Amino acid sequence: MAIDYHALKAWPFQDIEHTYTERDTVLYALSVGFGNDPLDRNALNYTYGPTLSAAPTMAAVLGFPGQWMKNPASGIDWVKVVHGEQHIRLHQALPSAGTVVGRSRIKAIVDKGRGKGAQVLIQRDIFEKQSSSLLASVEQLNFCRGDGGFTESGQPGDAALPAAPNVPQTLPEFVCDIKTRPESALLYRLNGDPNPLHADPEVASAAGFDRPILHGLATYGIAGHAILRTMCSYDSQRLKMLHVRFSAPVMPGETIRTEIWTRPEDATRVLFRARSVERDIIVLNNGIAELA
């Protein structure tokens, strides 16, 4: 079964109501490295009161519509789907606890060609339930490796998505190392992603890994933590947007080094990438952050 462009564009997503507590907010922060330094008062604000802050990247786990691509009616070969890019824009600081509503839609479907796959871009707006105010807009780009060529039957396809900027070919101006824990994937999955790839050695082996790997969104959250620490002095209201491309998995226990470059032509944005220090490979690339 092939992708049906019109059916996907009109996919009947249900609004997802998501209630979370301060305990959930602390759990998310711990799972992306907050609290590694128990003497850092500013970082402690994300894991301990009396005025608890929510990490901006927690928006990635709020109001999530679930594994809808597994529905055969989507026409997507979900076994071959990989998470390609992630984008969050914060319209206001996330509350440390509350009830939100996630409202999703398919924003773009791009045909890369037969044998080259397709891109499906999902946008999710997150609203505070009581006030209906928009808190964050989340975009997830999935690379559907088995679904290229759907326009050959005469269906439309959306225009190619703009490419994220490359980082400079110079030494980074700032570097931030955050060590992950051996059990970090088991901790992060408590945020709502129970995929056994991140917990079961047999499932990981079947997927070609010698051990369970860390969630891509955990790596994304750690990079966001690094930007928050290095460029925002842990002020959650200063991080307005974070975009990355996933390039390689992280193994729990590795150190993630976020390398950061400022942009002289635009003081509100920085470019970044992240690497596994132990294996010296890039795990996130084409990163861009917008700062207040």
Query: E strands, the chain, where?
Result: 16-20, 81-90, 98-111, 118-128, 134-144, 174-179, 239-246, 255-262, 269-276, 281-291
Structure tokens at 258: 């976020």
Active site residue 213: yes
Active site residue 198: yes
Q: Which of 117, 126, 147, 198 is catalytic?
A: 198
Active site residue 225: no
How many CB atoms lie under 10 A from the CB of residue 201?
12
Residue 204 CB contacts under 8 Å (≥ 6 apart), including other chains: 197, 198, 210, 211, 212, 213
* Burial per residue of 42-62, b for 16 or more beta-carbon CB atoms within 10 angstroms, e otherwise: ebbbbbeeeebbbbbbbbbbb
How far apart, in whole angstroms, are the C-alpha atoms of residue 63 and residue 16? 5
How far apart, in whole angstroms, are the C-alpha atoms of residue 7 and residue 75? 9
Q: Which of 178, 193, 215, 256 is catalytic?
A: 193
Q: Which of 148, 216, 221, 224 is catalytic?
A: 216
How far apart, in whole angstroms, are the C-alpha atoms of residue 234 and residue 227? 9
Name the region of 253 (left: φ>0; alpha: ψ -120 to 50; beta: rest): left
Active site residue 216: yes
State the catalytic residues: 193, 198, 213, 216
